[in-house]
Structure 1
Amino acid sequence: MQIFIAFLLAIVFFSLQAKAKDPKLIWFTEDYPPFNYHVNGNVEGIAINALKTIYRDLNWDFDPKEVMLLPWPRAYHMTLANHNACIFSMTYTEERAKLFQFVGPAMDNHVAIIGHKETDYQLSDLTSLGALKVGVVKNDIGHQLLRQAGVSKESLVFLASGFELVQMLKLKRIDLIAYGDVIARYQFKRAGIDPSHFRIVLPLRSSYLGFACNQGVRKRLIEKMNKALKTIKRREPEIFDPEYFYSKVE
């Protein structure tokens, strides 16, 4: 009997140990296809698949309820305000690395000024914008890069999402958008707009997307997630490829 009780206590102990090692993080994200987006009440995409794989490899329990899809400005603010919060997918910059702890690189991201092919805009740099209006999502990497370059607020049109950016660009209510190239192309497709009618007018930044956590998250957790991510990228590089992802879901 004593042996049986000891066995039960051991099971309880190891169960508690297993639960104790779960990170209990809150994850914020936005509509940013193909990396993260909303489908039938769930968050889908390349980044969420990568995150689930990180959790699986670390033997952590993944709870979909701990992932909240919000407009980017609110998700960004909520991550900065909560010590156990993380956000994805975030483009890495040196400025953001001072505010967040990054898990990455996960996926490549090329940010650019994008416009209609039929227009003759020729921008040598951002000082050439003149009276042109550029659509941005507040605190998105496109907005931050323009702000850092000294582009005036009067030149910017703030919209809630990338989906709205491409719609407004098609309707010519804005002249240009500052956004990730891959994401813009998929937003065009979602909006029923032919991406081939648009072009990169001016490249802004080539970087990578990753997962970014509040500075209050334990550094040991960040180290574990980074180590797991590196292993997964070597083992399953295809799951980070947008073309491979869409070939599986279309």
Structure 2
Amino acid sequence: MSMRWVCIFLLTPFFAYASMEEVKFYTEDAGLSSYMDDQNQLHGFSVDIVQEMIKRSGGRNSIELVPWVRGYTLALDVKGSAVFATCRTRERENLFKWVGPLNNTRVVFYQRAESRLKISKLEDAKKAKKIGCYVGDFRTKILEKAGFRNLECITGDLPNSRNLKKLASGRIELWVSSETDLAITANRIKVNPGHFKRAFVIEESPVNIAFHKQTPEVELKKWQGYLDQLKKDGTYRAIMKKYKVDPSIWAIE
């Protein structure tokens, strides 16, 4: 082997040469993070990040948009599966293996702009007639754990679009969501995002990729390596700027 090729080998990250197990990635319709356009093309800042990670792994993996409960269940039950973007909560910590963070998210209540409901603490939201949410979502679980009895949860596809339509029509008084969800969801259902306002920030949480629990540690290190690398080389910043993501929720040093 010539000295030139020895140098190239030594300078190349070890994970670029190692074989990777095939992983099926699942994501949901989640506002600016992941969404399907009118031509059935998958977009979103977390989608672009994971696609770049897949590219660096050799490109043998795929992403599928599915309802949240299905993707979450597959990542729990099927080896070789992963779901994103997944908040890393205490309850979920030991259910998966984790790579991230992709970003941070603020969990918020939205209300109609003309609403007079005042929320200065979480308990105040129990005064709302109905709060829109969806089954299996960690934000729903936060409210259930806090003793909320006024939740109107839905299942199936496009939960953000369906809940925002319900908020716009007055069928619910609050919608629990993430701060990045409003603008793109409003655009999708063709309503002015100015018709709504943030009522209260519930909490902030790191968002990750959740891999099946039996994923080998060596594989996790490779995926984490790809994510760390694209954060260092400017790719992460370029993706977040492309989608106009508020820098305050970027997960980068």
Is this a same-fold pair by TM over 0.5? yes
Partner AA of 2:129 in structure 1 = L
2:95 to 87, 92, 99: 99
1:151 is aligned to 2:148: yes
Query: Compared with structure 1, are the counterparts of its residues 176 and 210 closer, same or farther at alpha carbon in structure 2 (3 Å cutoff)?
Result: same
Gaps of 5+ in 1: 1-17
Aligned pairs (5 A) from 1:1-250: 21-39=19-37, 40-58=39-57, 60-63=58-61, 66-128=62-124, 129-152=126-149, 155-160=150-155, 161-236=159-234, 237-241=236-240, 244-245=242-243
Partner AA of 1:138 in structure 2 = V
Question: Structure 2 length as normaliser, TM-score?
Answer: 0.80
Taking the aligned partners of 1:125 and 1:98, their CA distance within structure 2 comes to 30
Give the paired residue count.
224
Q: Secondary structure of the equivalent of 2:171? A: coil
1:19: how far off? 10
1:191: how far off? 1.3
Structure whose CA Rg is larger: 1
1:131: how far off? 4.8
1:179: how far off? 0.6
1:230: how far off? 1.5
Partner AA of 2:162 in structure 1 = E
Larger helix percent: 1
Taking the aligned partners of 1:184 and 1:217, their CA distance within structure 2 comes to 34
Taking the aligned partners of 2:145 and 2:98, their CA distance within structure 1 comes to 21
% same residue: 21
1:213: how far off? 1.0
Partner AA of 2:27 in structure 1 = T
The 8 Å contact of residues 52 and 62 in structure 1, kept in 2 or not, is answered as no
Partner AA of 2:113 in structure 1 = K
CA RMSD of aligned residues (A): 2.2
Deviations 1:125-184 (A, max 9, x none): 3322135210001122321211222222xx111124111111111011111011101112
Gaps of 5+ in 2: 1-15, 246-253
Question: Structure 1 length as normaliser, TM-score?
Answer: 0.81
Taking the aligned partners of 1:238 and 1:127, their CA distance within structure 2 comes to 37
